[in-house]
Structures are given as structure tokens and as C-alpha cells.
Amino acid sequence: GAVVSQHPSWVICKSGTSVKIECRSLDFQATTMFWYRQFPKQSLMLMATSNEGSKATYEQGVEKDKFLINHASLTLSTLTVTSAHPEDSSFYICSAVSGVPETQYFGPGTRLLVL
Amino acid sequence: GNSVTQMEGPVTLSEEAFLTINCTYTATGYPSLFWYVQYPGEGLQLLLKATKADDKGSNKGFEATYRKETTSFHLEKGSVQVSDSAVYFCALQGAQKLVFGQGTRLTINP
């Protein structure tokens, strides 16, 4: 149980294009999902909290107009990197909350390379 | 604010050696504590957790005990295997958000 998937697993795009990453909870419903970014050999940096049916809450320093988050259902959150640039290249990981007490279960990650 | 400090890596051990990865935390209230493992090129997998003082989390031969008096949650395994090679993250959860340590890279040699 508590399986989270991400799609795509990796993507290469040209500078200036937008990229959408999906995060799905496969066997449970999640009112809250999180989006993280991880640079090579570093820890995870929380970008935003995604709540079903409401606006996402962004961490300080994260541009909400650049990283659009939509949590349209209890099993799906999407992160769209708009007008991507090479500095946006990173490993993006989502998590979904389940259980009591709440535990975060992570997706396998999406590697983005912007050329 | 909340913070987690892990022992610096990388850590290299021989197969069947005893493993300890230290983790200490600073937090207000009574957070839950977690160890996550990340294999190369993958996301994080929950390894074990403890939700209150003196709880012991265990999984796949790994153990960690929630020590409130020393604010620690050290990860241990009695006999490591090559397949345990990965990056290990200690984390605490307060108000739903996770705060991660910097990660410890573990390499096990046959």
C-alpha cells in the first residue's frame, strides 16, 4: 500500500518551453501532497505544499508563477515548470500524505534536463 | 525552528559490518521521526519511523530508537549487505512538513 507514482520519470526539453510533471497516489487518497527539488548529492528542498481543491502554499524563495501546482483531485497533483531554463534542471520529487499519524510517501522522482 | 543533523558521510563499510548513522534533532513539541533511504536515481523510500519517545522503529534489519533525553534517532544495523548501499536521510515531522538532514551516503564493499 501507499504507492506514489510520477510521470514522466525523466524529460529533456528546450529552454523556454513548459514541462508538466504528474504525481499520483495509486492506492489511497491524499488531500495533501508535497513537491521537492533535489540537486545532486544534496538533501531535498521543499518547494510547495499542494492541497486538494485550494491554492498551493509555496516556500519562501520559490516562484509561484514559475512553478504552477494544481491539485485537482484526491489522487493527482501536477507541477508545471513554465518557461524552463537550464538552471531549472533538477530532480523533482513529490510525496503524498497518508495514515495516522500522517506519513509522507514519496514518488520515484522526475529528472528534468533543460537544454 | 526545527532542524536535523546527521553524521557526515560518506561511510564505507565491509559486508557484515555493524552500521551506525547518527542523527540528532532540534524541535519544539513532540515530532515524529523518520529514516528514509534513497537508492541511486530513485525517490525516497520510508525505511522506518517512530512517533513518540522510547519508540523503536525497525525494518529490514535496521533499527532506530526515539531518544527524547538526547534528542537522537540513530540508525543501526547489525550486519550490512552490499544491497544496503544508498543515501540515508533522517527527518522529523512537525505540522505535517518534513525537515530532512543532509543525508549520509553509505557504500558497502563485498
A112 and A19 Cβ atoms separated by less than 8 Å: yes
Cα diameter, chain B: 43
Exposed, middle or buried, A5 (CB in 10 Å: 0-12/13-18/19+)?
middle
State the number of CA atoms in the 13 A half-sphere of B58 facing the CB: 7
Q: What per-residue confidence (pLDDT) applies to B45?
A: 92
Q: What is the mean pLDDT of chain A?
A: 92
B87-103 confidence digits (pLDDT tens): 999 999 977 789 999 99
Q: How confident is the model at residue A4 (pLDDT cuts 50, 70, 90)?
A: very high
Closest CA–CA distance from residue A17 to any residue of chain B (Å) = 24
Q: Which of A97, A105, A108 sits opposite B96 (nearest CB)?
A: A97
Q: Which residues of A touch B100 (CB under 8 A)?
A: 43-44
Q: End-to-end alpha-carbon separation of chain B, Å?
A: 41
pLDDT at B24: 97
Asked whether residue A54 carries a pLDDT value surpassing 90, the answer given is no
User: What percentage of residues in chain B have a pLDDT greater than 90?
Assistant: 83
What's the pLDDT score for residue A43? 87
* A100, closest residue in chain B (CA to CA): B51
pLDDT in tens, A98-110: 887 788 899 999 9
Does the pLDDT at position B1 exceed 90?
no
- Taking 80 as the threshold, does the pLDDT of residue A1 lie above it? no
Q: How large is the average pLDDT for residues A4-22?
A: 96
Tell which phi-psi region holds residue A9, choosing left (phi > 0), alpha (psi between -120 and 50) or beta.
Answer: alpha
- What is the predicted pLDDT for the residue at A40? 84
pLDDT of A101 reads 75
| pLDDT tens for each residue of B66-75 | 999 999 999 9
Q: Check residue A100 and give its pLDDT.
A: 77
Peptide bond preceding A8: is omega within 30 degrees of 0, i.e. cis?
yes
Enumerate chain B positions whose Cβ falls within 8 A of a Cβ in A. Answer: 32, 34, 36, 41-46, 49, 51, 89, 93, 96-98, 100-103, 105
Q: Is residue A75 predicted with pLDDT exceeding 90?
A: yes
What span, in angstroms and rounded, lies between the C-alpha atoms of B5 and B19?
17
Nearest chain B residue to A40 by CA distance is B41
